[in-house]
Amino acid sequence: MELLSENKCFGGQQAVYKHASTSCSCDMTFGLFLPEESRDGPVPVLWFLSGLTCTHENAMIKAGAQAWAAEQGIALVFPDTSPRGAAVANDDAYDLGQGAGFYVNATHAPWAAHFKMWDYIATELPELLAENFPLDMERQAITGHSMGGHGALTLAMSLPGRFKSVSAFAPISNPTQSDWGRKQFTAYLGDDESKWTAHDASLLMQEKGFDGPILIDTGSDDQFYDLLKPEAFAEAVAKRRQPATLRLQRGYDHSYFFVSTFMEDHITFHAEALYAE
């Protein structure tokens, strides 16, 4: 790994690293905040998956998460949202290609060569973190925003026992029925819609649910509300009788102003699960 930057932050350290990824066959970058407690031993881990057009940097700089993570003694991981580089396939649209990995393993050209974000987040990056940093990988939680909220929910439900808790800010909740999903799944996974269902949080909720606490916030004035389809996830939660806290926040939009407003709530929520006996 190459250390790109390191800054003291709320008593801990906010660093950015680059490494050669075997999953994505290119260099990948991630941010890692280690609280002061990590000097004395392994600390719990909260993953933050970002949304469309973002890199590792957006949430790391804008979400205000480090202050609350430092208070709780929790590490934060900020992965990138896709593979990148001159040799990596891309598209002129903002919602496909670099910056829009959708946390799936692409199976169709030209994406399949590099777009293996599921493997990267589920396997490669956790192993890299466990080998190199004082992290307690038995105590992990996950959250994300928009496309990253979709990724957080699908990973949490598909990897039972991995995460103690899951939350999301304005997640894409029913991508198989949304233009934010159908377009990307067709490109990455092909026309067979049966291959898409493993990456739809509402369908996964109906099929599997999650053995732990769930918290989701969405703004009532979110400009992408119709693409997010929060009502589909709420209906699936109700049908399964899944314990979950689903909140519609009056007047908030899709921005990081919304995310940062409720970040304390989410980190406190995860801390309760991570430190539970």
pLDDT digits (tens, 9 = 90+) for 115-124: 999 999 999 9
Q: Phi then psi for 41, rounded to 5 degrees?
A: 155, 175
**Is pLDDT at 277 greater than 90 in this prediction?**
no
What is the predicted pLDDT for the residue at 115? 98
* Residue 271: HSE in the Cβ half-sphere, 13 Å Cα cutoff: 15
Please give the Cα distance from 108 to 195 (Å, whole number): 12
Please give the Cα distance from 46 to 187 (Å, whole number): 30
Q: Which of 146, 167, 178, 202 is catalytic?
A: 146
What length does the chain have? 277
Residues 6 or more apart whose CB falls under 8 angstroms from that of 23 comprise 116, 117, 119, 120, 123, 124
What is the predicted pLDDT for the residue at 39? 96
Whether 211 sits among the annotated catalytic residues: the reply is: no
Neighbours of 86 (CB within 10 A): 6
Q: Is 225 helix (H, G, I), strand (E, B) or coil?
A: helix
Q: Which of 150, 199, 254, 266 is catalytic?
A: 254
> pLDDT band at residue 187, thresholds of 50, 70 and 90?
very high
**Which tens digits make up the pLDDT trace of 244-263?**
999 999 999 999 999 999 99
83-95 average pLDDT score = 96
**Which tens digits make up the pLDDT trace of 151-164?**
999 999 999 999 99
What is the predicted pLDDT for the residue at 68? 98
Class of domain 2-275: alpha beta
Q: Which of 217, 222, 266, 270 is catalytic?
A: 222
Residues 6 or more apart whose CB falls under 8 angstroms from that of 264 comprise 68
**Which tens digits make up the pLDDT trace of 91-102?**
999 999 999 999
**Which tens digits make up the pLDDT trace of 173-185?**
999 999 999 999 9
What is the predicted pLDDT for the residue at 62? 97
Whether 145 sits among the annotated catalytic residues: the reply is: no
Q: What are the domain boundaries of the chain?
A: 2-275
**Which tens digits make up the pLDDT trace of 10-60?**
999 999 999 999 999 999 999 999 999 999 999 999 999 999 999 999 999
Whether 146 sits among the annotated catalytic residues: the reply is: yes
Q: By the 8 A CB rule, do 47 and 120 touch?
A: no
User: What is the identity of the amino acid at 260?
Assistant: S
**Which tens digits make up the pLDDT trace of 206-244?**
999 999 999 999 999 999 999 999 999 999 999 999 999
Chain-centre distance of CA 119, in angstroms? 13
> Which residue, chain included where needed, has tokens 């290119």?
26
Please give the Cα distance from 103 to 200 (Å, whole number): 11
